[in-house]
Amino acid sequence: MTRGLFISFEGIDGAGKSTHIDRVAQLFREAGRAVVLTREPGGTPLSEKLRELVLHEAMDALTEALLMFAARREHLVQVIEPALARGDVVLCDRFTDATFAYQGGGRGFDWQVLAQLERMVQALPDGTLRQPELTVWFDLDPQIAAQRLASARVPDKFESQPANFFAAVRAGYAKRQGEMPERFARIDAAQSMEAVGADVGRVVSDWLKKVTA
């Protein structure tokens, strides 16, 4: 049986990851793989309800972090773990790195507390932690991201934050990459959509060759 694969996609709001995730899903489907395309916060009926709350209600920073991890726990148990056990490809639009970047970097919430919650929520029976095997990070200057978002839809709670919030989120992603460099692939998201797409395709196929060799 083919083994499951777990890939996450990250970046500040406006970095343009959504289009590229759909293309990656298409590539895997063309290669005959079953793909589970999902997102955080969200991915189960309960987690989607939690998403509504965290994206639209003002709340205490610890409450926000706990709700992100509560939604993640449900998502892992109901969707991600069963999919990986079946041998599917799980493509997740944001995962725990977003909590470190947004709640840790952006909000300035305690990094070590997030690490404790991560250990609790992502623990596997063998004592290791469930993490994406590859994280594609769409890295972009917050000023450029803000220009892109200005012409987009009505902003949610995070999207309406000022540029310095996103500079701190970006620093959070960079810190996380520094802690776990082996699974991160940084993409320069300031490039044209085509160039970004080509980079994403290359990163995913190079990684696939490595893990399936």
Mark the segment that binds ligand TYD (CB under 6 A) among 98-106, 130-138, 141-149, 176-184: 98-106
State the DSSP H helix or E strand holding residue 11, giving kind and residue range, or none if neither: strand 5-11
Least separation in angstroms between CB 32 and ligand TYD: 28
C-alpha span between 140 and 182 (Å, rounded): 20
Please list every residue from 106 through 145 that binds ligand TYD, using CB under 6 A: none
Is 63 an interacting residue with respect to ligand TYD (CB under 6 A)?
no
Question: Is 158 one of the binding residues for ligand TYD (CB under 6 A)?
Answer: yes
Q: How far apart are CA 78 and CA 126, in angstroms?
A: 19
Per the CB < 8 A criterion, the answer to whether 118 and 63 are in contact is: no
Taking CB under 6 A as the rule, does residue 102 contact ligand TYD?
yes
- Binding to ligand TYD in span 2-21, by CB under 6 A: 13, 18
What is the nearest approach in angstroms of ligand TYD to the Cβ of residue 194? 21
Give the tokens for residue 81.
């773990």
Query: For the chain, percent helix, then strand, then coil, each to nearest 5?
Result: 60, 15, 30
Q: Where does 105-163 show beta strands of DSSP type E?
A: 134-139
Position 165 contacts ligand TYD (CB under 6 A)? no
CB of 98 to ligand TYD, least distance (A): 4
Candidate residues 7, 76, 98, 146; the one interacting with ligand TYD per rule CB under 6 A: 98
> Which two tokens mark 8?
């996450």
Question: Shortest distance, CB of residue 12 to ligand TYD, whole angstroms?
Answer: 8
